Chains A and B, each alone.
Chain A
Amino acid sequence: RKEVEQDPGPFNVPEGATVAFNCTYSNSASQSFFWYRQDCRKEPKLLMSVYSSGNEDGRFTAQLNRASQYISLLIRDSKLSDSATYLCVVDSGGYQKVTFGTGTKLQVIP
C-alpha cells in the first residue's frame, strides 16, 4: 500500500461548483498534514496545513480523520484560477521529511 494515495483525476468542474478531494495515508504515527498546490510547469507551494479540528481559509476547507487515516480538501465556489494539481502531503512519523501524494488534477471550466 502506498504511503499516501490520491485520486489522480482529472476533476473537471464548472466555475462556481464545489469540489472535494480525499487522500489516504498509511502511517498511523504521522502528525503533520498539508495540502500543496502545483501549477503547470511550476514548483509546489503550500496551500494550507490540516489540523485535527479542521480548518478553513476563505473558500478552502481542510479536514483530518485520524481514525480512518484520511484528509480532505473542499473548494467552494471554484474559480478558473483554482485549476492546478493538488498534492496531499504527510509527515513520515517523526522524521524530518514528508511524503507527497501523486496529486489530483483540477480543471475549472468556464
Chain B
Amino acid sequence: DVKVTQSSRYLVKRTGEKVFLECVQDMDHENMFWYRQDPGLGLRLIYFSYDVKMKEKGDIPEGYSVSREKKERFSLILESASTNQTSMYLCASSPVFGVNPVNEQFFGPGTRLTVL
C-alpha cells in the first residue's frame, strides 16, 4: 500500500513563527504536492515538485516555500506564519504522469494548522 505520512495531525502556532510541515512517501514517486483546503475554496495547490531539488509554484505560493532534498521527503515552510494561513494542509504524491495511466495522487492524512 502507498503510504504518505505527515509530521503532525494538529499544530498550533503564533503569528510570526516559522513553521515546518513535513511529508514523507514510501512509493518512490517522482511528484509531490502541497495543497491547502479551506471551506468553499476546495483544494488549492501551493507548490509541487517533480524531482529532487526541483520545485514549481502552484496557484497560491505567496507566504510559503518548499524544500525537496530527498526523493521521499517534501517540506512546506511558512517563513512567518499569519492568521490567514490557518487551514488544513494536505500533502500528496504521484508517479510521473504518463508512466501510470491513472495518474492517481495519494494523499497524506493532513495537518490542521491554527495560527493565533
Interface residues of A (CB under 8 A from B): 8, 32, 34, 42-46, 49, 87, 91, 96-103
Contact = CB atoms under 8 A, between A and B. Distances in A.
B104 interface: yes
Given A97-B56, A100-B42, 4 more contacts: A44-B107, A96-B50, A98-B103, A102-B40
A84 to B, nearest CB: 14
B2 to A, nearest CB: 11
A87 B37 CA distance: 12
A102 B37 CA distance: 9
Interface in B79-116: 90, 96-97, 102-105, 107-110
Interface residues of B, number: 23
Nearest to B51: A96
A15 B42 CA distance: 27
B14 to A, nearest CB: 25
A97 B109 contact: no
In this complex, the member of B31, B90, B105 whose beta carbon has the largest number of chain A beta carbons within 10 angstroms is: B105
Given A32-B103, A96-B48, A97-B45, A43 B97 contact: no
A97 B103 contact: no
